[in-house]
């Protein structure tokens, strides 16, 4: 892997120009090869998961076991059939294998939700999507402070529908001010999508990123900004987004967000993650 490069603005003397020119060529080459993050000005790498071992590091990552929410159809497991490392990449595999009363299985993992999280920074992952009705992968953040959803907030860096292979979606969820109802009634959200003109997101790896600085959150697909929210503009209760957030990766099957699987849906299908990285300002 290439080293992280960052620098602050300063006066450059003539002797430095050769170095700067070389650096510009280096960064341009990286950008052309979709390694956009390495040349972001003044971002310093503080944590990364490169998935370069033989098995997932369970001192960092926790498995989710069982069903989830949103009328999803899968049973999440930690079995090797559903989640494994291969060629320095994480594979989360959806199967139509029938398991514990559920038609489908898949996997969901998170960094340790009690001790591994960050408040502010650039969160990014390089991911290749599955294709087919019913596939709902996500790369998202939840607060270490567990006050009950959505009081602490939720940040969806990437959500994707397997039946819309050129579109990614970002979202922000929180408890709206002065609401006395249940979590579903009091949940408010901001969302936006971006559709690419080129190859489907299922045919190649792309970088999905969130930059969180102060009260401003900005979503990117590769180097394209497609959403921005100012937290100070939101009417919220319970001070959301005020504590560190941990990272979640999952591949759901079916649910409220998209059409359920049908006879055209290919099983098995994988969500493939090259890396996950967190940067902060030095």
What topology does CATH give the domain 47-280?
A: Jelly Rolls (2.60.120)
What lies within 8 Å, CB to CB, of 89 at 6+ separation is 51, 272, 273, 274
Active site residue 159: yes
Closest CA to 252 of 79, 69, 62: 69
CA 67, distance to chain mean position in Å, is: 20
Q: Boundaries of CATH 2.60.120.200 in the chain?
A: 47-280
**pLDDT tens, the chain, 282 aa long:** 333 332 232 333 434 333 344 444 445 544 444 444 445 569 999 999 999 999 999 999 999 999 999 999 999 999 999 999 999 999 999 999 999 999 999 999 999 999 999 999 999 999 999 999 999 999 999 999 888 999 999 999 999 999 999 999 999 999 999 999 999 999 999 999 999 999 999 999 999 999 999 999 999 999 999 999 999 999 999 999 999 999 999 999 999 999 999 999 999 999 999 999 999 999
Active-site entry in 154, 188, 211, 235 = 154
Which residues of the chain form beta strands (DSSP E)?
A: 44-49, 61-63, 74-76, 83-86, 89-94, 104-106, 108-111, 121-128, 135-143, 154-160, 167-175, 187-195, 206-213, 216-221, 224-230, 245-253, 269-280
Answer whether 169's CB lies under 8 Å from 157's CB: no
Active-site entry in 49, 72, 124, 159 = 159
What lies within 8 Å, CB to CB, of 68 at 6+ separation is 74, 76, 108, 250, 252
Task: Read off the tokens for 211.
Answer: 């930059």
What lies within 8 Å, CB to CB, of 222 at 6+ separation is 34, 36, 206, 207
Active site residue 154: yes
Any idea which residue has 């390089």 for tokens? 126
Task: Read off the tokens for 53.
Answer: 């071992």
């Amino acid at each position: 892997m290439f080293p992280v490069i960052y620098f602050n603005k300063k006066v450059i003397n003539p002797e430095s120009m050769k170095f700067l020119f070389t650096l510009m060529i280096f960064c341009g080459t990286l950008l052309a090869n979709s390694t956009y993050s390495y040349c972001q000005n003044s971002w310093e790498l503080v944590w990364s998961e490169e998935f370069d071992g033989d098995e997932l590091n369970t001192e960092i990552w926790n498995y989710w076991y069982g069903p989830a929410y949103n009328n999803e159809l899968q049973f999440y497991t930690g079995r090797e059939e559903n989640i494994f490392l291969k060629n320095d990449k994480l594979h989360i595999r959806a199967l139509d294998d029938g398991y514990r009363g559920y038609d489908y299985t898949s996997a969901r993992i998170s960094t340790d939700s009690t001790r591994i999280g960050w408040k502010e920074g650039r969160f990014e992952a390089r991911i290749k999507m599955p294709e087919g009705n019913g596939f709902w992968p996500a790369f998202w953040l939840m607060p270490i402070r567990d006050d009950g959803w959505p009081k602490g907030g939720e940040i969806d860096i990437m959500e994707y529908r397997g039946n819309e292979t050129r579109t990614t979606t970002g979202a922000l969820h929180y408890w709206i001010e002065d609401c006395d109802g249940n979590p579903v009634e009091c949940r408010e959200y901001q969302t936006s999508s971006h559709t690419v003109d080129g190859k489907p997101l299922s045919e190649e790896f792309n970088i999905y990123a969130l930059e969180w600085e102060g009260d401003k959150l900005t979503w990117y697909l590769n180097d394209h900004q497609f959403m921005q929210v100012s937290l100070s503009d939101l009417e919220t209760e319970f001070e959301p987004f005020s504590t560190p957030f941990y990272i979640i990766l999952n591949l759901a099957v079916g649910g409220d967000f998209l059409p359920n699987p049908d006879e055209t849906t290919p099983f098995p299908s994988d969500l493939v993650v090259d890396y996950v990285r967190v940067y902060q300002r030095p």
